[in-house]
Amino acid sequence: MKRNLSLMIKPSSSKCNLKCKYCFYHSISDARDIKDYGFLQEDTLKIIIQKASIYCNGGNCVIGFQGGEPLLIGLNFYKKLIEYVNEFRNETTFSFSLQTNGTLITYEWAKFFKENNFLIGVSIDGNKDIHNLNRLTTKNEETFNKAMRGIKLLQKYNVNFNILTVVTSTLCKKIESTYNFFKKNNFRYLQFIPCLEPLENINLSLSEFSITKDEYKNFLIKLFDLWYKDAVNNNYISIRMFDNILGLFFSQDYEACDMKGICSCQHIIEGDGSVYPCDFYTYETYKIGNILADSFDDIHMNNTAINFLKNSTNINIKCKNCKYLSICRNGCRRHRENQDNNLNYFCEAYYDFYSYSLDKFNDLSIRLKSNRIFN
């Protein structure tokens, strides 16, 4: 039987050449008994590919690499990846993505990414001034120029890439200039994620870069207006959240995990082979197995994994009675943590945003269906 599988591998564990002020993974590693699990060994990578091929049995396996900084492990690791895939493919189709801060990209990396069809995500928070506020090296050095140099290499080698931006309080005030900066540089595939307080912050006292509900609401509406104006003028910019919502009007379900409302096992694999259900929950208490000892079927039957997925189905009574439940679905479980009655922290922001935007999403879908925008 053919089956599909999605994996996220952390080959460098929590190692990074940057120390971004808002980094959620840095806060997770600080809270763990073991901060860094070390580089993933090639023998472990070989076992991952072998077990993934057996599990999928001719289906599709999507593998993402993240960190820390996944380029720190070196290019030879990824060359071994391709070697093992070719050895164990078993008619299974493999596809790869990698999320990087962009500062370590060289022409060798770019050439490899192109030759092996990697989709690259690069973390850029906007123009130089905004980006360098929080995205600094471990030596407190600015990183914007190095990240942009990496992107230019990706563009030179025609590597498919998108931009990942963390929405901070500062960015909420600068969204128009940030959006225009991305357009100016021909960055046409964008993803925005709200800055998160660590799970350990049970009181949710906001840091200087975290955002309030009102800030996020205003951010979403302003960004939507900019996006919608371009879309109806035949200049479509892909923004992942908006693409997903628009897809509903074409009878497509959400592809973004954080929008589905119910968790699925994301198979986060740490440097020692430990497996976790979600990138936001790579704490020891959420461990669901180790790829060196367990099959993917074993991992799926793990009680911690089963309970993690089951707990994500709990819906607040307010959500059950909300007219936007089918759209919002109570959002990402991570945004419900430490909240009264499991209510999403951004509930009010989403409600106001959907009230403002859904008619225009519908209008845009009609235009697209009738080819009034794209031929």
Asked if the bond preceding 68 is cis, omega within 30° of 0, the reply is yes
> DSSP state, 273?
S
Non-local (6+) Cβ contacts of 192 within 8 A are 165, 166, 167, 223, 239, 240, 241
Give the chain's length. 375
- Secondary structure of 129-140 in HEC code, one letter for each residue: HHHHHHCEECCC
Spot the catalytic one: 279, 297, 298, 340. Answer: 279
In SS3 terms, 327-348 reads as HHCCCCHHHHCCCHHHCCCCHH
Q: Is residue 365 classed as helix, strand or coil in its secondary structure?
A: helix
φ, ψ for residue 137, nearest 5 deg: -75, 175
Is 279 annotated in the active site? Answer: yes
Tell me the two tokens of residue 42: 């090639």
Q: How far is 103 from 149, CA to CA, in rounded Å?
A: 7
Contacting residues for 325 by C-beta, under 8 A, at least 6 apart: 315, 319
Active site residues: 279
